[in-house]
Structure 1
Amino acid sequence: MFQNRQTTRRQFLQGVTAAGAATILIPSTNRAFGYQSANDRPVFATIGLRNQGWAITSKSFKFADFAALADVDANVLEENVAKVEKAQGKKPDAYKDYREVLDRDDIDAVMIATPDHWHTKIAVEAMYAGKDVYCEKPLTLTIDEGKLIRKVQKDTGRIVQVGTQQRST
């Protein structure tokens, strides 16, 4: 018999978005890094942990391990580190400066959910640091930023996925 579960539209769309991001990033990241076993899991970091940052992180535990979180707000960072530790059984490293995350060699991909005006800068730096990128919309604010993203992606060969939930295609 069916149970009547009260799933909001927002919850549904967040779940679908996270699943979509995982289906794009995980197989591609596995190929890109030449994992030897299906049991090897990619290592992610989330940059920007407020509402959408936590939503995409929390939906991705079954697909990846989170080794690092970054947010400029110490309270938000501390709260989310505790939530990730509870969910995956291992405490991720915490950073107030996202550049420290990008300096790490063990991070395969970053999920960016910062305020919009930071998206392009962080995505470009992440690709140059050898990270694949999942970024919340908008990826860019100008046409020139879009051209820059395209150039950097082509130059680095990194995978870039943009979250576009709540939009028709």
Structure 2
Amino acid sequence: MGLTGIDDAARALSQALANVNVKCDFVSVPTHPTITKLRVLSRNQQLIRLDFEEGFSGVDPQPMHERIQQALGSIGALVLSDYAKGALTSVQTMIRLAREAGVPVLIDPKGTDFERYRGATLLTPNLSEFEAVVGKCQDEAQIVERGMKLIAEFELVGAAGDAALSRG
């Protein structure tokens, strides 16, 4: 599930995913082009990558909410990857819909505003993303201490009421 334009890139993406039996349910946005990346290679080595991305800010989130709502009865988890391109501007509604259906919400966050992910089941920041939110950690004990505070502060609790902080 995601946002695309109505263009050749969207059609190519849909076809490539269908070719490997990946079911996709894109919301097609006629006012925005599909985000694309062009890799320039020479002798199997990437020389440069060009990103063509206007993002999807200002797009009505309701079609995404409807698709999520329809899928919740048949999925084991809602996995959201935030690339700050506009698809998750209403992430709180997405979290609420999933939690009301008893579906865990796993999020790969972007940026330092973890408040927007409040109520998710699991966040998966890397160390630099984590430290951008909680500050530089001197050792593993400090990582654990600050991680547990983050879990409590943003109500990141699993379905069984448990919490975990994990390396890797």
Structure with bigger RCO (C-alpha 8 Å, 6+ apart) = 1
Q: Is TM-score (shorter-chain normalized) higher than 0.5?
A: no
Greater radius of gyration (CA): 2
Q: TM-score, normalised by structure 2?
A: 0.38
Query: Which has the larger helix fraction?
Result: 1
